[in-house]
Amino acid sequence: MEYPVSANARYTGLIQHYGDRLPIEDPASAVCLGEGRTPLIRTYNLPRRLGFEGEIYLKFEGVNPTGSFKDRGMTVAVTKAFDEGARAVVCASTGNTAASAAAYAARAGMQAFVIIPEGKIALGKLSQAMMHGAKVIQLRGNFDEAMAIVRVLVRDLPITLVNSINPNRLQGQKTAAFEVVEDLGRAPDYHAIPVGNAGNITAYWMGYKEYGYEGWCAPPVMVGFQSTGSAPIVEGRHIDQPDTVATAIRIGHPASWEGALDVQKESRGWFDAVTDEDILQAQRLLASTDGVFCEPASAASVAGIVSEIQAGHIPQGSNVVCTLTGHGLKDPDTAIRQSEQPFTVDATEAAVEEVIQGFL
Ligand SMILES: *Cc1c(COP(=O)(O)O)cnc(C)c1O
């Protein structure tokens, strides 16, 4: 007998789902991996702990196919590159762009070249780029230097740049805002996002405005968070030696700075910085009290919201969405370093019980 194929099984990805809102002529040609449709998870312990009588939701982008929101932009950028006849893509990356570009290029039968800062990319991301067959070029330098190099490089080579200065990336990433509005039935009052190059906050704002103009919703106030060691937009100046445990936002020369300032003005939002300590604490808090494991950069949005609520900048009763940009498994080293270490015991019931009894 034949079983009916469910709508879930037929979902191929964002381009199929939002094709009429994306710059793709033939959605059937899409290079996709089922990205998007990520959960909007309501937290209960977090607001209770803060004494916050409002709603805090997590847009968990860590469950995209390669574990970060970069897949939303990459499906569009790689599909476009393929349609235009490109045979290779290149990006500078702090890790997640590399992992995503490598996967989508593999899917399309294209070569990916990824340029990363040596020693400053999380283990999970590096392993992905390597497994997907990207040529990995480690730079003795930081992300901003890698970015400056690829910008020039692509002028002379037959390679498509898939960093977020490629406008197709932001087109894909704006779909996350569509999903939030569809899930909530409205836009949130506040939307918090970690900021590196500021491409994602710019893309969300595009998405909210697109729905807003069509009468779907009043757009939210956008709030962007950087790490104090890497906060060019907050400080209003380039940072030449950015430093933070949140490697995905270790960026001192943001590529979409202007976009970020437009978002701030138009949404009446703001940017602020949070310390590495606060970032790691928020990461642990989410994982241990609400069951959601995100990478350090992602936790910047939650650390930021915690401090804004405590400072009274976000009023009681508000509805808040935090984007968790990437999965915690991306950076196992940082997770293990800050966690309680395992108990090692002899292989006897008594030894195991002794540990358990200590906590009952
Ligand atoms: C890329 C990335 C960011 C920063 O996004 P921008 O568009 O560069 O501002 C934040 N968190 C994670 C996990 C990322 O991969």
**How confident is residue 29, by pLDDT bands cut at 50, 70 and 90?**
confident
pLDDT tens, position by position, 90-140: 999 999 999 999 999 999 999 999 999 999 999 999 999 999 999 999 999
DSSP character at residue 115: E
**Percentage of residues of the chain with pLDDT beyond 90:** 93
Helix pair angle (276-285, 296-310), 10° resolution: 100
pLDDT of 213 > 70? The answer is no
Buried b (16+ CB within 10 A) or exposed e, 147-184: bebbeeebeeeebbbbbbebebbbbbbbbbbbbbbeee
**How confident is residue 9, by pLDDT bands cut at 50, 70 and 90?**
confident
pLDDT tens, position by position, 186-198: 999 999 999 999 9
Q: Which amino acid residue places its CA nearest to atom 1 of ligand 1?
A: 248
Domains with residue ranges and CATH for the chain = 29-67+169-337 (3.40.50.1100), 69-165 (3.40.50.1100)
- Closest ligand 1 atom, CA of 251? 8
pLDDT at 1: 67
pTM, full prediction: 0.96
DSSP character at residue 333: H
pLDDT tens, position by position, 293-348: 999 999 999 999 999 999 999 999 999 999 999 999 999 999 999 999 999 999 99
DSSP lists the bridge partners of residue 59 as: 40, 323
Q: Which residues does a 6 A CB cutoff place in the pocket of ligand 1? A: 68, 70, 96, 164, 194-200, 248-249, 295, 297-298, 325-326
Distance CA 115, CA 113 (A): 7
Task: Return the C-alpha torsion angle 292, 296, 301, 304, nearest 10.
Answer: 120
* CA-wise closest residue to 176 among 224, 226, 210: 210
Pairing assessment for the beta strands 40-42 and 55-60 based on DSSP bridges: antiparallel
pLDDT tens, position by position, 65-78: 999 999 999 999 99
- Closest ligand 1 atom, CA of 200? 7
